[in-house]
């Protein structure tokens, strides 16, 4: 979707200003926000792609005014209510009023290190052969879906070259909406500066993205 999260190439936001010696967290509440999000994700009720889409759906004014972990918490509230773990009234009152859904699993303290070390791999086998090969010219599709997509706005309807075939991975556009993993081949596609930024841009610059196969068409 074309949400407030998709800032690549957008004007008016100024330069990126990295914080020198930035700490992992700027407050204890951010640690709790991370812990809550990971613990609730372990319930097994939603996928990482659904959680990303929940963040994308935060109204633009609220999204752009929020900090990183504020966005996480606001999306987590949506997911918990959507899947029946809490009600809107419970969130507003900060009190448990009903039993709610039962998690498929609970992440306990002694499990955290192992779970974090194991991660959540999303690479999968794909039965079909890759449609594209290294060195082939391709064009990204001009799509503007209302649902989740990982194809950024700045790279739509652009012509580039396949640099690498990365393997098969869960297709997030389906997985975010409960339609299954439906893995596809993922390719690294390289675009030159003028193709992305237009006339007058530095021709020595290039941009690469990792794109699922259905985002691409042959040139």
Q: What is the pLDDT of residues 60-113, one digit of tens each?
A: 999 999 999 999 999 999 999 999 999 999 999 999 999 999 999 999 999 999
- What residues does 209 pair with on adjacent strands? 189
The per-residue pLDDT for range 46-61, each reduced to its tens digit, is 999 999 999 999 999 9
Tokens 């990126």 -> residue: 16
Q: Over the chain, what is the mean pLDDT?
A: 96
The pLDDT tens digits of the residues spanning 160-184 come to 999 999 999 999 999 999 999 999 9
Above pLDDT 70, what percent of the chain? Answer: 100
Residues 41 and 112 placed together within one structural domain of the fold: yes
Q: What is the DSSP string of 120-179?
A: ---B---SSPPS--TT-EEEE-----SS---S-GGGTT-EEEEEEEEEEE--HHHHTTTS
173, 147 contact by CB (below 8 A): yes
The total of structural domains in the chain comes to: 2
**Of all helices (H) and strands (E), which one includes residue 104?**
none
If asked whether residues 113 and 144 sit together in one domain, one would say: no
Question: pTM for this structure?
Answer: 0.92
Burial 14-28 (b: 16+ CB within 10 A, else e): eeeeeeeeeeeeeee
CB 148 within 8 A of CB 177: yes
Token pair for 127:
């039965």
**Full residue range of the structural domain in which residue 146 is found:** 137-218
Question: Does residue 2 fall inside a structural domain?
Answer: no
Residues 141, 113 share a domain: no
Structure confidence at residue 197 (pLDDT) = 92
Residue 20 lies in a domain: no
Task: Tell me, yes or no, whether 41 and 68 share the same domain.
Answer: yes
Residues 102 and 147 in one domain: no
pLDDT at 10: 87
List, edge to edge, every strand of the sheet that includes 159-169.
206-212, 184-192, 159-169, 137-140, 216-218
How many angstroms separate the Cα of 11 from the Cα of each of 3, 14, 119, 197? 15, 7, 35, 12
Task: Tell me the pairing of strands 206-212 and 184-192.
Answer: antiparallel
- For residue 11, the Cα-to-chain-centroid distance in whole angstroms is 21
Q: What is the CATH classification number for the domain harbouring 157?
A: 2.30.30.50
What is the model's pLDDT at position 191?
A: 98
Residue 13 lies in a domain: no
Residues near 98 by Cβ (< 8 Å), separated by ≥ 6?
Answer: 87, 90
182 belongs to a structural domain = yes
> What is the CATH classification number for the domain harbouring 97?
1.10.472.20
Q: How far is CA 3 from CA 13, 69, 76, 98, 144, in A?
A: 15, 18, 18, 33, 10
Cα dihedral value 82, 88, 91, 96, nearest 10: -90
My answer on whether 34 and 106 are in the same domain is yes
Give phi and psi for 74, each to the nearest 5: -65, -40
């Amino acid at each position: 979707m074309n949400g407030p999260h998709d800032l690549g190439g957008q004007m008016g936001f100024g330069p990126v200003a990295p914080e020198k010696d930035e700490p992992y967290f700027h407050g204890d509440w951010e640690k709790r926000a991370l812990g809550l999000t990971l613990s609730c994700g372990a319930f097994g009720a939603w996928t990482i792609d659904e959680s990303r889409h929940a963040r994308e759906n935060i109204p633009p004014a609220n999204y752009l005014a929020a900090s990183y972990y504020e966005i996480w918490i606001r999306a987590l509230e949506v997911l918990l209510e959507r899947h029946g773990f809490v009600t809107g009234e419970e969130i507003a009152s900060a009190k448990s009023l009903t039993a709610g859904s039962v998690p498929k699993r609970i992440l306990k303290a002694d499990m955290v290190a192992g779970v974090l070390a194991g991660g959540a791999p999303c690479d999968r086998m794909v039965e079909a052969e890759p449609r594209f090969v290294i060195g082939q010219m391709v064009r990204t599709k001009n799509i503007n879906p209302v649902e989740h997509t990982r194809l950024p706005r700045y790279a739509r309807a652009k012509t580039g070259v396949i640099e690498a075939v990365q393997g098969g991975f869960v297709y997030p556009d389906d997985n975010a909406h409960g339609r299954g993993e439906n893995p596809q081949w993922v390719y690294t596609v390289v675009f030159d500066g003028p193709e992305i930024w237009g006339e007058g841009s530095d021709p020595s610059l290039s941009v690469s993205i990792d794109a699922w196969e259905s985002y691409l068409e042959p040139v």
